[in-house]
Amino acid sequence: MDHVKQFYIGGQWVAPRTDTTLEVVNPATEQPITSIAMGGAADVAAAVAAAKAAFETFSQTTRQERLDLLDSVVAVYTRRLEELADIISQEMGAPLSLARAAQAVAGLGQLGTARAVLADFEFERPLGGTLVAREPVGVCGLITPWNWPLNQIACKVGPALATGCTMVLKPSEVAPLNAILFAEILDEAGVPAGVFNLVNGDGLGVGAPLSAHPDVDMVSFTGSTRAGIEVARAAAPTVKRVAQELGGKSANIILDDADLQAVITRDVGNMCTNSGQSCNAPSRMLVPAARMDEAAAIAAEAARNIVVGDPREETTRIGPVVSATQYGRIQQLIEKGIGEGAKVEVGGPGKPEGLETGYFVRPTVFSHVSNDMTIAREEIFGPVLVLIGYEDDDDAVRIANDTLYGLSGYISGSADRAKAMARRLRTGNVHLNGAGPDFNAPFGGYRQSGNGREWGALGFEEYLETKAIMGYNA
């Protein structure tokens, strides 16, 4: 890693304006990988100035020029895919198999989706004598998390490039190395100077001044609801656009006509993927109350079969959680669940046997949980599943919607019942009978899970302003 002590500003790798550094720690070994430079307001100002200057020309590029640019980015990204997967596995603990098959590939998929939307997008249309034009929103501040880092970087950078915007990226300081590689990829691909800029740092030092900067026209933020509120507050005085993808506590409704053995086994695995560190994880499993003990036994057996261990081992299903801070929070919430009377079916506090080093969490299943318990209300962000009983379909919908969040939902059972129930859930996404994510579909949430959408055409449109030119077609 040649550029860990530098930022990418104006098409150049430059020295930071402060001498503050931060260790990047491998969560499987608890040992530092390297140290990165940490930026501040002066670095943000330089990056924003570069983006503002570049916008004058980049915003006027043709569709074909931007298509060619995205093709070049995809080509370089593809060549460095293994390198990206390797560094993600090291810095945030994802099993190397998951980093290869999902983490790194997701970024490539998001870039490809942006390119496909650009190819056919209608930027102008007549409306009587008026021309309605869609134009790039301007300079974008992009703030991304550590849990699916390249997916979240690419689903912002891709449409920003495709629409003719310029940008400043602040990746998570917990897992920043993949973003440095991403900047190297864009540089090699020929992204014009100033169009893409990278400044590493924390929320207070970089995120806040980026959100507040008067020359930033839009902030796209992915992270916790708590941090999203602070981003919105910082952005409010300059009345810029704010798009947010925040937390979740998604309900997974198992209907009484579903195959409990197959569905619960599948969904325990899905919940624990990425060590449970997904904002849309199906972390509240709603099961028929009369079959709670049966469901709990199936879930416990599925959790016991999940191999936790070294991310480098091919047999490992889940690695550690990302940091000591995250590990400590998960342990506190597990203890809270025990204290509030939930039944531990498997797992519980502490680390898996034989894994004393590393931030490893035991896959944990709580049964007989009521929806007012802390573990049913708060986003745990670890491999911890709660089972909640319901009486009938109406009760299941009531429990599912009884949350501050509304990011995703899951329903398994007969198709007609599942489809009807999906329309009643107050959530931005619903997965029926094991359906996976769709990069062409909008991704985002209701209520405190955020505003705006990412992915596909609707995510693309977040980076556009609308202009009406009257008399254009007179």
Residue 474: inside a domain: no
Q: Return d(Cα 473, Cα 127) in angstroms, integer.
A: 9
Answer yes or no: is 114 within a domain.
yes
Say how far residue 438 (Cα) sits from the centre of its chain: 14
Question: Which region holds residue 444: left if phi is over 0, alpha if psi is between -120 and 50, else beta?
Answer: left
User: Which amino acid is located at 73 in the chain?
Assistant: V
Question: Are 140 and 112 members of one domain?
Answer: yes
List the Cα angle 91/277/305 in 5-degree steps. 100
What single-letter amino acid sits at 32? P
H helix intervals, 273-356: 292-304, 324-339
- Encoded tokens for 36: 């990165």
Helix, strand or coil, per DSSP, at residue 344: strand
One DSSP character per residue, 295-317 reads HHHHHHHHHHTPPB--TTSTT-S
Q: What is the pLDDT at residue 278?
A: 97
Tell me what the mean pLDDT of segment 128-135 comes to: 97
Average pLDDT over residues 206-229: 97
Indicate the DSSP class of residue 16. Answer: -
CA atoms within 13 A on the CB side of 225: 20
| pLDDT value of position 398 | 98
Residue 1 has pLDDT above 80, yes or no: no
Give yes or no: 356 in active site. Answer: no
Percent of the chain with pLDDT over 70: 100
Cβ atoms within 10 Å of 131's Cβ, excluding its own: 16
- Domain-embedded: residue 443: no
Shared domain check, 117 and 219? yes
**Which conformational region is residue 81 in: left (phi greater than 0), alpha (psi within -120 to 50 degrees), or beta?**
alpha
Query: In 3D, which of 26, 25, 28, 23 has the Cα closest to residue 359?
Result: 28
Compute the distance between CA of residue 407 and CA of residue 405 in angstroms, rounded to an integer: 6
The total domain count for the chain is 2
CATH code, 413: 3.40.309.10
Q: Examine the domain organization and report whether 15 and 143 are in the same domain.
A: yes
**Shared-domain flag, residues 430 and 284:** yes
What is the average per-residue pLDDT within 292-303?
98
Identified catalytic residue from 184, 245, 454, 461: 245
Q: How far apart are CA 429 and CA 419, in angstroms?
A: 13
DSSP string covering 393-420:
HHHHHHHHH-SS--S-EEEES-HHHHHH
Reduce the DSSP state of residue 26 to 3 states and report it.
strand
Residue-level pLDDT at 148? 97
Question: Average model confidence (pLDDT) for the chain?
Answer: 97
Please measure the distance between the N-terminal and C-terminal CA atoms of the chain and give it in whole angstroms. 58
**Which CATH number goes with the domain that contains 180?**
3.40.605.10
Q: What is the pLDDT of residues 314-363, one digit of tens each?
A: 889 999 999 999 999 999 999 999 999 999 999 999 999 999 999 999 99
Quick one: 368 and 428 in the same domain?
A: yes
DSSP secondary structure of 124-191: EEEETTEEEEEEE--EEEEE--SSSHHHHHHHHHHHHHHHT-EEEEE--SSS-HHHHHHHHHHHHHTP
Q: In the structure, what pLDDT confidence band is assigned to residue 127 with cuts at 50, 70 and 90?
A: very high
Residue 244: the pLDDT is 96
**Mean pLDDT in residue range 366-371:** 98
279 is catalytic: yes
272 plus 207 within the same structural domain: no
Question: Residues 242, 255: one domain?
Answer: no
pLDDT score of 2: 85
Give yes or no: residues 288 and 374 share one domain.
yes
Given this model, what pLDDT does residue 474 score?
A: 82
Pick the closest to residue 443 from 388, 395, 406, 400 (CA basis).
406
Which residues constitute the domain of residue 126?
7-246+449-469
Say what the pTM is: 0.96
Residue that has been written with the tokens 């190397």 in this structure: 96
Q: Which of 279, 379, 454, 462 is catalytic?
A: 279
CB of 159 closer than 8 Å to CB of 439 = no
- Asked whether residue 196 falls in the same domain as residue 285, the answer is no
